Amino acid sequence: MQQSDFGFKRWVGNQLNTQDFTLVPLKGDASFRSYYRATTATQTYIVMWAPPPKEQTQPFVNIARGWQQSGLQVPTVWAWEPQQGFVLLSDFGDVLLEEALSLETVDAYYHHAMQILLALQLQTGLPAFNEAAIRLELSYFQEWFLAKFLKIEMSLEVMEILEPVFNHLFASFTGQPQVAVHRDFHCRNLMVLDTGTLGIIDFQDAVTGPITYDLVSLLKDCYIDWESAKVNHWVKIFYEMCLQEKRIPPIDYAQFLQWFDWVGLQRHLKVLGIFARLHLRDNKPQYLQYLPRIMNYVLQVTQRYPEFYALHQWLQAQVVTRVDLARGKVA
């Protein structure tokens, strides 16, 4: 154990008022944060270690406290040491929504998740998901997925295909009602609590952004997928919820679906870049297994809308087969 580890364990013990506890590391996520379960004789806790300056705990703590006050099911922050990135949290257990989903359960869970989403979207005080942030995320697709992972040259011809797509996506982001957005509202960041309700985790990157963004994260999940007909059915349910709650203007469903699809295209192009970066930079090749699913999401949208036809043709000709080959190298 390193010296910093002793400091971490001593801090946890001081917060628990006992040194008689165990610390067990939990499965990590795609960030630099580490998670542990601290178990005393009477209770369990979750401890997050987010080492500065790679990770910041201030946004997480601020959002957790604010969202909990508004009634959302988020972990309680019992203690916080911002200088070292230590946070002591309540324990939501081990059951991710991913593990509870099946053809028999998905409708009920997703309906519940969409109700939670309506409440989450009312939260305030978050930074804007602005043009700079949107374009930075799209740059991950260019730099990490196309250039570094697939070794595709970012030529003038390629940029002439990508730039109009990026402009359309930015317009879609800003043309929708702007609400609170979790940014990763998917099956690994929703937990099934003992009460049967869903708890929300990993929300530190929340922003104010388009109303369909989190719906895409939920229904076009990078870790689990469903038939297009079911996805469209759920999108329509949420559309009707939004109309009833007057969260959106009186648009037709086709317009709402376009919002959903176009925001989803931006998200999935970004995720292709992030998962490639996790492999190349952070030595986490396990995320490559999800690339075919994400690419399929991209192709579904680029095929559906004439604005993305050139991108669709180029992806089919230059990218799709390389994704399969790249996976084969690490499988």
Given 64, 90, 116, the domain boundary residue is: 90
On whether both 71 and 106 belong to a single domain, the answer is: no
CB 57 within 8 A of CB 92: no
pLDDT level of residue 1 (50, 70, 90 thresholds): very low
From 22-26, 62-66, 308-312, the region with the lowest mean pLDDT: 22-26
Amino acid symbol at 98: E
On whether both 76 and 120 belong to a single domain, the answer is: no
On whether both 80 and 112 belong to a single domain, the answer is: no
CB 46 within 8 A of CB 58: no
On whether both 48 and 148 belong to a single domain, the answer is: no
On whether both 84 and 199 belong to a single domain, the answer is: no
On whether both 253 and 219 belong to a single domain, the answer is: yes
Buried b (16+ CB within 10 A) or exposed e, 232-269: eebbeebbebbeeeebbeeeeeeebbbbbbbbbbbbbb
In this structure, what token pair is assigned to residue 286?
A: 């396990």
Residue 40 has pLDDT above 50, yes or no: yes
State pTM to two decimals.
0.94
Query: What percentage of residues in the chain have a pLDDT greater than 70?
Result: 96
Q: What is the CATH number of the domain that holds 213?
A: 3.90.1200.10
User: CA dist 73 to 41, 66, 70, 247, Å?
Assistant: 25, 11, 9, 22
Residues whose CB is less than 8 angstroms from the CB of residue 303 and which lie 6 or more positions away in sequence, other chains included: 312
Residue 13 has pLDDT above 70, yes or no: yes
List pLDDT tens digits, range 187-217: 999 999 999 999 999 999 999 999 999 999 9
- The number of folded domains in the chain is 2
On whether both 194 and 296 belong to a single domain, the answer is: yes
Half-sphere exposure of 312 (CA within 13 A, CB side): 15
Range of the domain at 136: 97-330
Given 66, 90, 114, the domain boundary residue is: 90
Q: What is the CATH number of the domain that holds 50?
A: 3.30.200.20
On whether both 126 and 43 belong to a single domain, the answer is: no
Secondary structure (3-state) at 76: coil
